[in-house]
Amino acid sequence: MPANEKIGFIGLGIMGTPMSRHLLNAGYPVTVWNRTAARMKPLVDAGAAAGTSPADVARKSTVTITMVGDSQDVEAVIAGKNGAIEGATAGSVVVDMSTISPVTSRALARRLAEKGVQLLDAPVTGGSAGAQAATLSILVGGEKAAFDRCLPIFQKLGKAITLVGPSGSGHTAKLANQILVAGCMSGVAEALVFARKAGLDLGTWYEAVKNGAGASWHLTTQAPRVLDGDFSAGYMVKHHRKDLRLIQETAHELGVPLPVASAVLQLYRSLQATGGDELGHQALVRVYEQLAKVEARR
């Protein structure tokens, strides 16, 4: 049996649902809440308890996890009306596994600390496939004691779990990771469209380069999906757009130029304008295809 922790899980989207199920299957008592109540039913049917609000979830939990969309969503479920802060008791931990602004994260940590509650910012990378397989990479900011306490929980969700620094560091590390993602995905899209426009057979080209110096997770995972015309979402365009916006805001505060990430954000905004927000982020290739007047498929 797991340690004496009662888990609350707030946010049951394509990431939160499998993550909360892993914790339930590991033997933790889990209380769940989602803004769209119907999403709670499969987990309640599997043995979870249904919370009536984020405050109710936190009241019943020793560790409350949030996995929602943007900074304002995290602020709402933690510090808003009926937010987790209203139910959390001294000595408990709140873990935000969303991807949000480090500034917001640090502000929430200060507010929770006034109640004797610790906040860990612990965003993840690995997409829906990683959430389903419990192979996520988890980047954690906060106090080491809280990290050590929550490590057994994290180990049910991911494989690479790293305490990267104090409060806000986890979200900063995730934003830096998303700069890598932007560069890799745009590079794959450009290469595919270039090779097709030059008349190469893309299946042959992919096999020739997939193990070379240009190899990356995005090449080996997303390029085959593009070649097959599969633009289903493991990680939605709108979420990557949000991440890139947060990166721009943070870079502005730091005075750091980010020419590549800035350009990729504009490309994703072009994709948004043509109705692509709900597609997987590999759909970035569609913008390049439109510009080059070619389709990069097998």
pLDDT for residue 46 = 97
Active-site residue, 6 included: no
Say what the pLDDT of residue 1 is.
45
Tokens of 200: 């190469």
Tokens 């900074």 belong to 71
pLDDT confidence of residue 205: 97
Q: Which of 49, 51, 7, 13 is nearest to 26 (CA)?
A: 7
Taking the C-alpha atoms of residue 155 and residue 235, their distance in angstroms, rounded to an integer, is 22
CA–CA gap between residue 240 and residue 119 (Å, rounded): 24
Class of domain 173-292: mainly alpha
- Selected residue with higher pLDDT from 1 and 152: 152
Q: How confident is the model at residue 3 (pLDDT cuts 50, 70, 90)?
A: low
Which residue among 81, 115, 159, 174 is the active-site one?
174
C-alpha–C-alpha distance, residues 82 and 59, integer Å: 11
In the predicted model, is pLDDT for residue 119 greater than 90? yes
Cβ-Cβ contacts under 8 Å for 135 (sequence gap 6 or more)? 126, 129, 158, 159
Q: Is the pLDDT of residue 240 over 50?
A: yes
With 90 as the cut, is the pLDDT of residue 122 above it? yes
CB atoms within 10 A of CB 102: 23
| Residue 14 identity | I
Asked if 238 contacts 272 with a C-beta cutoff of 8 angstroms, the reply is yes
Residue 51 pLDDT > 90: yes
The secondary structure of residue 224, as a DSSP letter, is: H
The domains of the chain are located at: 7-166, 173-292
Q: What number of other Cβ atoms are within 10 A of residue 223's Cβ?
A: 24
Residues near 204 by beta carbon (within 8 Å), at least 6 away in sequence: none
pLDDT at 234: 87
- For residues 129-158, average pLDDT: 98
- The pLDDT of 242-263, averaged and rounded, is 96
Mean pLDDT confidence for 30-57: 97
**Highest CATH level, class, for 7-166:** alpha beta
Helix (H) or strand (E) holding 125: strand 124-125
pLDDT reading at 2 higher than 90: no
**Structure token digits, residue 52:** 């009536």
What pLDDT, in 10s, does the model give residues 159-218?
A: 999 999 999 999 999 999 999 999 999 999 999 999 999 999 999 999 999 999 999 999
Q: What are phi and psi of 10, to 5 degrees?
A: -115, 115
pTM (2 decimals)?
0.93
Q: Give 170's contacts (C-beta < 8 A, 6+ positions apart).
A: 105, 120, 121, 122, 123, 139, 140, 141, 142, 164
* Vertex 242 angle, CA 239 and 248, to 5°: 145
